[in-house]
Amino acid sequence: MAVYTEVTDEALAAFLEEYPIGGLVAFRGIAEGVENSNFQLRTTTGDFILTLYEKRVDPADLPWFLGLMEHLAAHGITCPRPVAGRDGQALRTLCRRPAAITTFLPGVWPRVVRTEHCAPLGNALARFHLAGAGYAPTRHNALDPSGWPPLMERCRPDANSVAPGLAAELDAAQTRILAAWPHDLPRGHIHADLFPDNVFFLDGKVSGLIDFYFAATDLLAYDLAVCLNAWCFEPDFEFNVTRARAMCRAYEAVRPLSPAERDALPVLCQGAALRFALTRLYDWIHTPPGALVTRKDPMEYVHRLRFHLQAGSPGAYGL
Amino acid sequence: MAVYTEVTDEALAAFLEEYPIGGLVAFRGIAEGVENSNFQLRTTTGDFILTLYEKRVDPADLPWFLGLMEHLAAHGITCPRPVAGRDGQALRTLCRRPAAITTFLPGVWPRVVRTEHCAPLGNALARFHLAGAGYAPTRHNALDPSGWPPLMERCRPDANSVAPGLAAELDAAQTRILAAWPHDLPRGHIHADLFPDNVFFLDGKVSGLIDFYFAATDLLAYDLAVCLNAWCFEPDFEFNVTRARAMCRAYEAVRPLSPAERDALPVLCQGAALRFALTRLYDWIHTPPGALVTRKDPMEYVHRLRFHLQAGSPGAYGL
């Protein structure tokens, strides 16, 4: 669930006074999302989302995230647009947490992915990559390959209790992936977490991208690899190459991959699978039972990782 | 959190075809609520709530609940109004669960109760009691005094592990309360669960009552006793008689209590505290750690129960 902080009506009323968006009409917690507290907010002028940034988000990164969203929205990407207060500032404080109001986006995220979702997604991802080009500030991706070994260190003592032999399997995968990782591919701003619950659809088209709080400056094709992981596996972890082909073709119709990017796709997919396996494993080990957050099974990404490790070439992805 | 069942976009689209309420615009899970899955639904004609009834609600009771809401809405109570499908039916099936669409209500539930909330609440409760009078079907309150002993039986083996001596304390309280329980007070339809998260406020007035899935036909004054428990204690479990007085006076301005109801208020409050202590204790003992539902501390209601057991007279409640 996604409400960690409850906002009193008095605090909310005082907070809204700082914005030129009218009076409060309704305020409900949103179930989706695991990092921050999100509320659907209605005022006399329209609908908005109020986000309170919880401890997983570094407050120092928030101006970069909000600036990116503002830039993307101004360049044709339907994403939440930060709403400035009367003083021109979008980033404020509520209940002792950084907080921001953003615009409301229509659409529905797909609870079950179908092939028809994958081309619109590939198209939207490529447009996002092109639109991000004019946003000058950069942000290091804390979960790029340099971030995996320290995470692995903190998981290793308990990894085998999750699955026998898991520590050695992940160690071997990490060594192999780090050795093959490309460093000279085109870079730009990536979403880095474009899972189905972060993509709204309406009438078969992408109506919005949300949740930019893992966004960073990194290899553009890595973002596609994240999406291949998140959108193209069946529930039994069989890879659906039809979806992958639809996604990649639609991506390339907007932003063609270079030969080096294509060649790197298998290792980028391996890296993306390892990244999510490691963060889920970390959370699995370190989240106390009974915590408010539902732990996600790290093995879902170990299965994906195994597929990518045996996928020898870009052909495995329909390219 | 309050989304136990995920609805695919295909299932949702097919479901909405059965209603004359326009096309889908947005669909988000709602964080509030613990019994059912609730979604905020926007169509081209407006905003609605979609509820999927999960296993705690007996499907056989749903027509009674929806009928009560329809009746109340038609008699001046702002509560969710069931929306009928093209076939005239409000109760349907979605994802193999009973499901209904109801109207959206503006307002914000108070995360922190203040005295100013209590008079509007008392007023709304009394109006609800009067408006319910014309709804002929009745529903037995499964959590009335006849429901406590079986619940107590199932909690007794583990109660002392929650707090030393708790089993004996609750046994003694139950015996005392059952012996003093009134049976000839005015009866009607009660909400039975009118906690702050079920009451929306807007501009200092009650803008909506929600969540009627514990409603039943029982002693009207017992409903007031539930509210005195839910709204009139400080976080340290000190009773706030100013709030209680404001609530009762506002209630009585609409529906005066009979002398017998006033005299019974202490035992009704004891019974209400015991009812919530027992159900919370049951959930505490029987909810596995790591479950999606956040367990609520039963001791919060044991503390309240202790207050009510020593409150000798209606004067303790400001009457």
Residue B243 C-alpha, separation from nearest chain A C-alpha, in angstroms: 18
A76 and A175 co-located in one domain: no
Q: Are strands B187-190 and B216-219 parallel, antiparallel or unpaired?
A: antiparallel
A143 and A86 co-located in one domain: no
Q: Which residues pair with B239 in a beta bridge?
A: B233
Answer for the pair B103, B45: CB distance below 8 angstroms, yes or no.
no
| List of residues 6+ apart from A249 with CB closer than 8 A | A119, A122, A318
Q: State the 10-residue block means of pLDDT for chain A, 319 residues long.
A: 74 95 93 84 96 90 97 97 96 94 95 96 98 97 97 95 96 98 97 97 96 97 98 96 98 98 97 97 81 77 97 91
Answer for the pair B41, B26: CB distance below 8 angstroms, yes or no.
yes
CA dihedral B205, B211, B216, B222 (to 10 degrees): -50
Q: Is residue B220 part of a domain?
A: yes
A149 and A283 co-located in one domain: yes
The angle formed by the CA atoms of residues A154, A160 and A163, to the nearest 5 degrees, is 125
What Cα–Cα distance (Å) separates residue A197 from each residue in A32, A211, A230, A293, B8? Answer: 8, 9, 10, 16, 12
Tell me what ipTM this predicted complex has: 0.80
Say how far apart CA B221 and CA B226 lie, in whole Å: 9
**Least confidently predicted of A84-88, B250-254, B285-289:** B285-289
pLDDT the model gives residue A4: 74
Say how far apart CA B46 and CA B43 lie, in whole Å: 5
pTM for the predicted model, two decimal places: 0.87
pLDDT the model gives residue A293: 58
Structure confidence by residue, pLDDT tens digits, B67-106: 999 999 999 999 999 999 999 999 999 999 999 999 999 9
Contacts of A1 in chain B (CB under 8 A): 1-2, 31
B31 lies in which domain range? 9-103
| List of residues 6+ apart from B118 with CB closer than 8 A | B231, B232, B243, B244, B246, B247, B250
The CATH number of the domain holding residue A309 is 3.90.1200.10
What Cα–Cα distance (Å) separates residue A310 from each residue in A159, A179, B137? Answer: 22, 16, 65
Query: Is B110 in contact with A8 (Cβ distance < 8 A)?
Result: yes
Q: Which residues pair with B51 in a beta bridge?
A: B38, B100
Mapped onto helix, strand or coil, the DSSP state of residue B277 is: helix
Compute the average pLDDT of residues B29-39.
84
Mean pLDDT of chain A: 94
Structure confidence by residue, pLDDT tens digits, A288-313: 665 555 678 999 999 999 999 999 89
Please name the member of A7, A25, A30 whose beta carbon is closest to the beta carbon of B29: A30
Give the pLDDT band of residue B289 (cuts 50, 70, 90).
Answer: low
B256 and B185 co-located in one domain: yes
Judged by CB atoms within 8 Å, which residues 248-277 of B form the interface with A? none
| List of residues 6+ apart from A124 with CB closer than 8 A | A77, A199, A206, A209
Based on the structure, what is the number of domains in chain B? 2
A167 and A259 co-located in one domain: yes
A272 and A168 co-located in one domain: yes
**Burial class of residue A306 in the structure, from the number of CB atoms within 10 Å of its CB (0-12 exposed, 13-18 middle, 19+ buried):** middle
| List of residues 6+ apart from B231 with CB closer than 8 A | B113, B117, B118, B121, B196, B243, B247
Residue B288 has pLDDT above 80, yes or no: no
A6 Cβ under 8 Å from any chain B Cβ: yes
Structure confidence by residue, pLDDT tens digits, B108-135: 999 999 999 999 999 999 999 999 999 9
pLDDT the model gives residue A291: 58
Say how far apart CA A65 and CA A192 lie, in whole Å: 13
Query: Is B108 in contact with A30 (Cβ distance < 8 A)?
Result: no
Structure confidence by residue, pLDDT tens digits, B15-28: 999 999 999 999 99
The CATH number of the domain holding residue B20 is 3.30.200.20
pLDDT the model gives residue A1: 41
Mean pLDDT of chain B: 94
Q: Is residue B42 part of a domain?
A: yes
Query: Is B108 in contact with A201 (Cβ distance < 8 A)?
Result: no
